[in-house]
Amino acid sequence: MQACPLAHLVARVRAFDRFPKVDAALAAIRAEALGVPGGRVRRLGDTRAGERLELISLGSGPCGVLVVAGPHPNEPVGLLTSMELARLIAEAIRAQDPAVAPFTWHILPCWDLDGARLNESWYTAPPSVESYHRHFYRPAMAGQPEWTFPLDVPGARFDRPLPETTALMGAIDELAPQVLCSLHNSDVGGAFYILDQDRPALAEELTRLPALHGLPVDVVSVDTLGWASPAPGVHVLPPADALHRPADASGGIAHPDHGACSLHYAQRHATRGILAEVPQWRVERPPVPPPGRWAPAIGEQAEHITRTLAPLQAALEAAGRTVPDSLFLPAVQDTLQLAGAAANAWRNGIERPEDPQLAEALWNAVYDGSHLLPLRALGMWQRMFPDSPTSINGNPLVRRATEHSRRSLGPLCESFETETSATPFPLRELVAAQLSAIFTTASHDAPEHRGGPCADQAL
């Protein structure tokens, strides 16, 4: 197999000890584009808070590659990847490197810009589980640009795209790119990829990338259970109608709280889509329980969620509208709903898969969810009440929930960090892994550059 012609760029990725400030990263990306012939910066639209969303473009080749970073604001690896991508492409253009000639690169560096502002405190702090959750924000599903594309399928309809979603829709329709790369990162786990359709040759190239960067592969991810998998760690996105419930018994139309995703939308232009996910933390979970201990162990995880989040749930149910209406409220409600549904499902019993890989994936998902979902909820709850809860709300249940959040968050973070030996992956490897996926997919689609995985074998 011919080597990927862009692999040498991956070898030049810099080392970082933390994420950049949002404005600093955006300024650096903008400067790289404006420093090369034909580089351009233009406004795509505005965020819900009125900030300008910019699209950065470099190059003039026939193969258009649209890279979207920051679809979820607690996932900033893509912002760093975008900064390195702009720098590396600009350097290659100035050096007249023929490897980049076939491409035009379009970069949306920070899609959920408003949400990123609410996470920025932990971006620039020394990495720790507590810092991450103490300054954590992730909107409810209806507030996520990645999952609010229009949907109109048998039995379900969604037509409430966010301004950020509408802005990207316009870019996709105007550019009709050959490739769309959506950059994500998880808290823990392994690297994996989601393709918009089954592409076995590309899948075989992608499956080798994580190991080249010292990352584990999520062979089975809880996010993709039941999806087609043409290669380990590579999954095929189901059609939008398969991800939404059918019409109810009366034949009516369901109105879900979210719609389709960017890869679904871009299919109308025959765009090849990839979602590249990398993990932020390396963790060691407890061993998979044997069959005789499976049900009790799962029940213990469910009980941990219920016990940890009970004060918050009680406060919301009793206090109702007296809880301050803020960006954090729907996010907390969504997290509590997700955590409660998970605990109920686990408590009702989930069978231990016979396949060892499936059993391990399911156990890891349960263990991670039972620990990380409460940390998210506790972190966002205490952010709703930055001052004394007594001065904001006289409801005793709200005060109790806030005191519980403040008292519990630090020890629970420390416990998780200790029990799992949580260690952040080197940012250089995460960025290099995402760049490798971008370059491999782009090269796979450029007729002039058919080749193998774009990764520096020495990394």
pLDDT in tens, 24-34: 999 999 999 99
pTM across the whole model: 0.93
Cross-strand pairs, 67:
107, 181
What are the angstrom distances between the C-alpha of 20 and each of 66, 88, 383?
22, 17, 22
What average pLDDT does the chain have? 92
pLDDT at position 441 is: 97
Provide CB contacts within 8 A for 390, sequence distance 6+: 399
Closest residue by Cα to residue 140 from 258, 2, 43: 258
pLDDT at position 249 is: 44
H-state helical runs in 124-253: 129-134, 163-175, 200-206, 209-212
Task: Tell me which residue has tokens 């404005």.
Answer: 23
The residue extents of the domains of the chain are 7-283+424-449, 291-421
CATH superfamily to which 7-283+424-449 belongs: Zn peptidases (3.40.630.10)
pLDDT tens per residue across all 459 residues of the chain: 457 889 999 999 999 999 999 999 999 999 999 999 999 999 999 999 999 999 999 999 999 999 999 999 999 999 999 999 999 999 999 999 999 999 999 999 999 999 999 999 999 999 999 999 999 999 999 999 999 999 988 878 889 999 999 999 999 999 999 999 999 999 999 999 999 999 999 999 999 999 999 999 998 887 888 899 999 999 999 998 888 755 444 445 565 778 899 999 999 999 999 999 999 999 999 999 999 999 999 999 999 999 999 999 999 988 766 676 788 999 999 999 999 999 999 998 889 999 998 899 899 999 999 999 999 999 999 999 887 655 555 688 899 999 999 999 999 999 999 999 999 999 999 999 999 999 999 998 665 544 445 544 323
Looking at the chain, how many residues does it have? Answer: 459
Beta-strand (E) ranges in 34-81?
A: 40-46, 52-59, 63-68
First-last CA distance in the chain:
20
pLDDT at position 453 is: 52
pLDDT at position 254 is: 61
Q: Rounding to the nearest 10 degrees, give the CA dihedral for residues 156, 328, 135, 16.
A: 30
What gap in Å lies between CA 165 and CA 144, rounded to an integer? 9
What gap in Å lies between CA 97 and CA 101, rounded to an integer? 7
DSSP SS3 for 1: coil
Cross-strand pairs, 184:
277
